[in-house]
Copies of this chain bind each other. A is one copy, B any other.
Amino acid sequence: MTEPDRLFLADLARAAQAVEACLDGLLSPEPGADEIARPSRLLAAMRHGVLNGGKRLRPYLVLESARLCGGDRQAALRIAAALECIHCYSLVHDDLPAMDDDDLRRGQPTVHIAFDEATAILAGDSLLTLAFDIAAAPETPLSGESRAALVVALARAAGIGGMAGGQALDLAAELSPPDEAGIVTLQAMKTGALIRFACEAGALIAGADAATQASLRRYGEVIGRAFQIADDLLDITSDAASLGKATGKDEGRGKGTLVGLRGIDWAREELGRLVAEAEDLLSPFAEKGETLKAAARFVANRKN
């Protein structure tokens, strides 16, 4: 591991800690203003789904892209927490019996196993809802206009035109394998959209100029693609023990992946190309862009 990569992992861990603390506070038993009560079992299920020691890559990307653009740290922290609520809700719902039917996540029982299916559905719904509350609330120290813009960008990344739509395409892919273009669209929606939002969010938080926003947006697309290819590679090359979840499933279900279509060598080359593009996109930021360059390398080379 290189020194910048070591620094990156320390940064990532620090960011995860900050976001975890923020999420812990947001998922408190005290009802917020205009809330009637927070039923304890539902809250426990939400906390189980969120406070699970994730790597918090997406929150990290929000914090770092905001820092790069000079955005407010507290605002970035809350947008990072909102985004993580959406990422975690999607995992809770994807794990349901009617979807991927997974019993374990990070070595722990999934929410519908630890609680029950109805509670898992409601916990996901409530996390999704809470995300928009967090982003839009005045406690996020941004103008109303910026908060509203972040809500819209987050909703479009998460909804039918982004993550949820990608999950629908993924279900359809089990019945009828998509062609290469179909796979690219599916992955850009299912995993790419939230990662792109994470990177673009910094520019929105800081009110950066259009060129900066476009660079970060493209950077987000590039590392989103690298993330998915690395995931597909891992699915083929890893075993369950090192990942902590079932592997080889996508293959077994006949879902196409780019790695399956083009092969492992192509995938490794493509990852190199994507990292290079990400690094290029960050070069105008000089020294300040180093952490996000390291993030691109981490995403492409991750081992779990």
Contacts and interface: CB of A to CB of B under 8 A. Distances in A.
B99 A121 contact: yes
Interface in A234-269: none
A19 to B, nearest CB: 19
Which range contains the number of A residues in contact with the other chain? 35 or more
Report which residue of A32, A33, A156 has the largest number of chain B beta carbons within 10 angstroms of its beta carbon: A156
Interface of A is mostly: helix
A35 B161 CA distance: 4
Please tell me how many copies of the chain the complex holds.
2
B35 A168 contact: no
B125 A93 contact: yes
A165 interface: yes
Given A38-B165, A136-B152, A159 B193 contact: no
Interface stretch (A103-111, A137-145, A277-285, A289-297): A137-145
Contacts of A147: 144, 148, 151
Interface string A140-174: 00011111110111011111111011111101100
